Amino acid sequence: MKVATAGESHGKGLFAIIEGLPAGLEIDISRIDEQLALRQGGYGRGGRQKIENDRVEILTGVRNRVTLGSPVTLTVCNKDYENWKEYMAPEGCDLSRRRLTAVRPGHADLAGAEKFGTDDARNVLERASARETAIRVAAGTVCRLLLEKLGVVVAGFVRSVGTATDEREYLFSDILKAKSSELGMLDPEAEREAKALIDRARATGDTLGGVVELRACGLKRGFGSCMTFSEKLDARLCSALMGVQAIKGVEIGLGFEAARRAGSEVHDEIFYDKKRGFFRESNRAGGIEGGMSNGEELILRAAMKPIPTLRKGLQTVDLQTKEPTRAAAERSDVCAVTACCVVLESVLSTELCAVVLERLGGDRMQEVISRYGGLPR
């Protein structure tokens, strides 16, 4: 299975093509729209979310709400395009206006402008923008629907915003409730502290990042491989999450903490009984050993840096004049960690779906479900 996306932040729309989905997968459009709405929410979001009201449209590959086995094409329109058509229309537009030359530290502006040979960073930022993640949420929800048919469920919550951190441990059933809170946090006290930090950042023209924890429950053993580095499940999942805008670090299980502990405090001891088969009473490995799933919950955490568009602007250099200036302040969020959690769940679902289908094959959902059911837990 392969997913490709296209579209600019202020262009006509965002698009995804999903190749390799089996026939017979029922698509609940309301589930996709629900995830798109969650992505637009969260305390600290900016003005763009008041303009857009994201809804998916399926263009190909689905008939009567069921996949045909052909490529599935999804689109999410950009309502804001009507306000930008004069400067963004592919048929012809005014390039002298809405230029961006005061390149933003931490954004793709400068590196992209130099790479692609332009003196207007808008040609770069329109694609580099996190607006692109809307269509990845749409595609990821389709993949989530397939995983759920196999009994694999993905969920996530916000561990921290700035210095406001939730150190508690939670059951998977607890994490499923996270979306009912404003920030996607499970500890009310940590969330109150986080909201106060966001308010302070907004007042000073600053931004905040945070940490998201992701879980996947129900994935059986043996997905991924130890035989080649490119097939390692942890490598693939970390690469997928690192491909999301603003993500600067990913860890699995204990992650970096494992480097500080003795081996006896890191590795999960193995037990066996006739009913459960092989099992572990701890999950410090985060469900992956030797590049393969071991039947335990997958546990991943991703660190999102603060958004690089600051209202107060950082010191930079104008791309055209080479003179010192303040970075451009495009309309932006103060904090988007809650939205990032939704995006990361979708991206994790997409990569897991690809891994599962590579191993199982099958042209129809009945084949996929039957083959998965025949695997040992």
Q: What is the pLDDT of residues 318-370, one digit of tens each?
A: 999 999 999 988 767 999 999 999 999 999 999 999 999 999 999 999 999 99
Q: What is the mean pLDDT of residues 187-207?
A: 96
Domain encompassing residue 356: 2-373
CB of 214 within 8 A of CB of 255?
A: no
Q: How far is CA 332 from CA 39, 208, 323, 329, in A?
A: 15, 12, 25, 8
The tokens for 104 are: 């933003």
Q: What pLDDT sits at residue 4?
A: 98
**Residue 376 pLDDT level (bands cut at 50, 70, 90):** confident
Residue found by looking up tokens 């915003």 in the block: 161
- Is the distance from CB of 282 to CB of 253 less than 8 angstroms? no
Non-local (6+) Cβ contacts of 112 within 8 A are 121, 123, 124, 125, 128
pLDDT tens track for 279-306: 999 999 999 999 999 999 999 999 999 9
Determine the pLDDT at residue 331.
67
Q: What is the mean pLDDT of residues 44-68?
A: 88
What pLDDT, in 10s, does the model give residues 86-112?
999 999 999 999 999 999 999 999 999
Task: Count CB neighbours of 353 within 10 A.
Answer: 26
What average pLDDT does range 33-58 have in this prediction? Answer: 88
Q: How confident is the model at residue 377 (pLDDT cuts 50, 70, 90)?
A: confident
Instruction: Compute how many other C-beta atoms are within 10 angstroms of the C-beta atom of residue 2.
Output: 10
pLDDT at 277: 87
Structure tokens at 209: 């990042």
Please state, in angstroms and rounded to a whole number, the distance separating the CA atoms of residues 146 and 1: 12
Count the domains in the chain: 1
Distance from C-alpha of 142 to C-alpha of 321, rounded to nearest angstrom: 46
Nearest to 174 by CA among 182, 164, 186: 186
Our CA angle for 300, 72, 135, nearest 5°, is 50
Contact 216, 252 (CB under 8 A): no
What are the helix and strand counts (H, E) for the chain?
11, 17
Rounded to an integer, the average pLDDT of 69-80 is: 97
Amino acid sitting at position 184: G
CA atoms of 328 and 347, how far apart (whole Å): 29
- Give the separation between CA 236 and CA 344, rounded to whole angstroms: 14
Lowest mean pLDDT among 20-24, 179-183, 190-194, 274-278: 274-278
- Whole-number percent of the chain with pLDDT over 90: 93
Q: At residue 25, what is the residue type? A: L
Whether 371 shows a pLDDT value over 90: the answer reads yes
Token output for 40: 């637009």
Tokens 């007042």 correspond to 203
How many C-beta atoms surround the C-beta of residue 260 within 10 A? Answer: 9
Residue type, 1: M
Task: Name the one residue in this structure whose structure tokens are 């429950």.
Answer: 217
CATH number at residue 83: 3.60.150.10
> Rounded to two decimals, what is the model's pTM?
0.96
Could you tell me which residues come within 8 angstroms of residue 257 by beta carbon, excluding any fewer than 6 positions away?
none
